[in-house]
Amino acid sequence: MYKIIAIYKKPDNIEEFEKYYSEVHTPLVKKIPYLKELRITRIKGSPFGQTDVYLIAEMIFETKEDYKKALSSKEAMEAGQDALKFSHNKVEIILGEENIL
């Protein structure tokens, strides 16, 4: 499977972040074509204590072709720009391929 992964740093205002994320941003992400699954992980800490990572979103695509089409879509561009805007640039967006061993 192929993924777009968004790693959000801890926001200044968690309640405001959560409201926007659920009411505005998630619906934008769900419009991305060929999206098979959206996985959200809220980070609770690390083995070493605190972490500045707050949330990880994984957008899952079945095939490489679906992933490429999704990445070039206007919906993905809109969702990416929105992520940067509402997080105040406290997001890193990375691309990956999952292999199960």
Backbone dihedral region for residue 45 (phi beyond 0: left; psi -120 to 50: alpha; all else: beta): left
Cα–Cα distances (Å) from 34 to 7, 16, 80, in that order, read: 21, 29, 16
Residue 93, beta-bridge partner list? 6
Q: Considering the entire predicted model, what is its pTM?
A: 0.92
Taking the C-alpha atoms of residue 12 and residue 35, their distance in angstroms, rounded to an integer, is: 29
Q: Where are the domains of the chain?
A: 2-97
- pLDDT given for residue 97 in this prediction: 94
Q: What's the N-to-C CA distance of the chain in angstroms?
A: 13
Taking the C-alpha atoms of residue 75 and residue 38, their distance in angstroms, rounded to an integer, is: 15
Query: According to CATH, what is the number of the domain 2-97?
Result: 3.30.70.100
- Full pLDDT tens readout for the chain, 101 residues: 999 999 999 999 999 999 999 999 999 999 999 999 999 999 998 888 889 999 999 999 999 999 999 999 999 999 999 999 999 999 999 999 999 89
- pLDDT given for residue 76 in this prediction: 96
